[in-house]
A and B are shown apart, each in its own frame.
Chain A
């Protein structure tokens, strides 16, 4: 018995292109282990294969190759209606011809659970999603957020081993989305089942997940907890997709196991290896997060370890100010500075000095 709730082994999915000979590879050689009870997010831009992966777990799509296991059982030959999973759709997919209560009890009714047991279960499920007393309404009378709660109740009432959520908050406005993110986390800790969550919103993924899998063009790029995804991106794509970051082209001058001396922006600087090693003389990409860079007032002369530049764009963001700084080398860097009374403010055109801790600069091998 493995501790994995869902396991994907070498899963591939290709779709025949309509009218064309070639096939479209949606998911390529995907290996994933999702632990019981965790909030696991599949993250990536649209078309990266995350929804296809979810639909294969649900049983709506059949893998072209590989195996899908749920609770240590091979699922490839098991139809959707016999899998111990339930799905929450982005467009809610509530049955318009049924009331809220009839929607929620649907799964139990199909299973033949008698009415005396269904009714309290429906009540409990609606309370869980904070919609008590809404049972007699029609789905169309509810707001988008309420409909999504009903969809959640309809899935959770079946006590699935795994709950699959396909961009469930995608259709909601920002404020409601944030409230629902919080609530989804709470509901998950209450019911304790595994959540597999699909989103293209990296902020949402970082905020909610125990672990995140980043996908692009059908390939799995990295799996890890939010901080390792953010701080130790495995590829340039991950670094770019998760949060904001800066890229500087650099050349290796001296390499050791832990750190590397590179030439970048016309200066020598230290950085950390991130995803492999390169030899002396080879090109790498240096990446530094905007909030890890410090800005100083330029006071003439070259201080060791600082870069020089000119503040170009200044964007006030409330808690932070975002600067775009043009370097002497011609490259530009984004710098995010938290606003507080002791921090100098710069305006467009000001001469500035920049520095960062070598531990925050990372060398990416392409």
Chain B
């Protein structure tokens, strides 16, 4: 009799999922919990509820300054990476040329180079050519880091629609550049935005490359790391990371949503 066989209360799969989720999200939950805890030491039991760490954040000019730096570096490096990545993607998907395989390999290699290695390597190069350690140097590093991601995201979208669409554009009187602006880029827009957002989040919390290349102006991750030496500042760091994390999750969800939307229009138009 099948019905009499007792089912275990928790299946193996359920247990696995529960444990994995706990390991992943419990620390983040703790982070948010302690960011509202009225104590400078991060131990249980919790004290009273407070928002004063968030309020103190606003009165911490150095911290806000590093936040601003990160936003700027993220914004500009992501724009450049998206632009260059899109150009590379168009070359790879829509054109046939000599040494194409090599080009593809060279442009995706940064994906597997550890960022520490990239950081040291860039430090050497910048020192050789007299480029001062600065936010500009960090921005260049982040651009290099992000080009392959941007390229792959846009390439996937380009490969997803027939180049007949571009031929139709030319057939209806558009030049090559006209077709690029009025057909290719509008149809790829969700992927361009996804590439930009993904690059931005990478740049925003990137530490290894930035650590080697920052000059006097710190980016946010570098600043947070420097603050760990002062235990009294710890709750501030916790509050800020909680904020950053929530923002990051929102951006990632947004990117995901855009990609899904672009995939579903692709499926329907296929």
Contact = CB atoms under 8 A, between A and B. Distances in A.
A87 B171 contact: yes
A107 B173 contact: yes
B96 interface: yes
Interface stretch (B84-92, B159-167, B227-235): B159-167
Contact of A81 (B161, B173, B186, B187): B173
A96 B269 contact: yes
Interface in B146-205: 161-162, 164-165, 167-175, 178, 183, 186-187, 189
Contact of A93 (B96, B164, B189, B265): B164
B268 interface: yes
A59 B161 CA distance: 21
Given A58-B171, A79-B170, A110 B178 contact: yes
A85 B169 CA distance: 13
Contact of B172 (A60, A79, A106): A106
Nearest to A151: B168
A298 to B, nearest CB: 57
A111 B269 CA distance: 26
Contact of A110 (B167, B173, B187, B269): B173
A91 B163 CA distance: 11
Interface in B219-270: 265, 268-269
A342 to B, nearest CB: 53
B170 to A, nearest CB: 4
Contact of B162 (A18, A91, A111, A158): A91
B172 A110 contact: yes
- Name the interface size band of chain A: 20 to 34
A21 interface: no
B170 A95 contact: no
Given A95-B183, A97-B186, A140-B269, A154 B165 contact: no
Contacts of B161: 96
Contacts of B168: 87, 89, 93-95, 154
A97 B164 contact: no
Interface in A240-296: none
Nearest to B185: A97
A81 B174 contact: yes
A171 to B, nearest CB: 11
Contacts of A139: 269
Contacts of B173: 81-82, 107, 110-111, 158
A95 B171 contact: no
Nearest to A141: B268
B252 to A, nearest CB: 25
Quick one: which of B189, B268, B269 has the most chain A CB within 10 A?
A: B269
Given A18-B96, A89-B164, A96 B171 contact: no
B186 to A, nearest CB: 5
B155 to A, nearest CB: 18
A216 interface: no
A18 B265 CA distance: 32
Contacts of A97: 186-187, 189
Interface of A: 18, 58-60, 79-82, 85-87, 89, 91, 93-97, 106-107, 110-111, 139-140, 154-155, 158
The 4 A-B pairs of least Cβ separation, nearest first, read: A93-B164, A107-B172, A110-B173, A93-B168
Given A87-B168, A95-B165, A97-B186, 16 more contacts: A79-B175, A81-B170, A81-B173, A81-B175, A81-B178, A82-B173, A89-B162, A94-B168, A95-B168, A106-B169, A106-B172, A110-B172, A139-B269, A155-B171, A158-B172, A158-B173
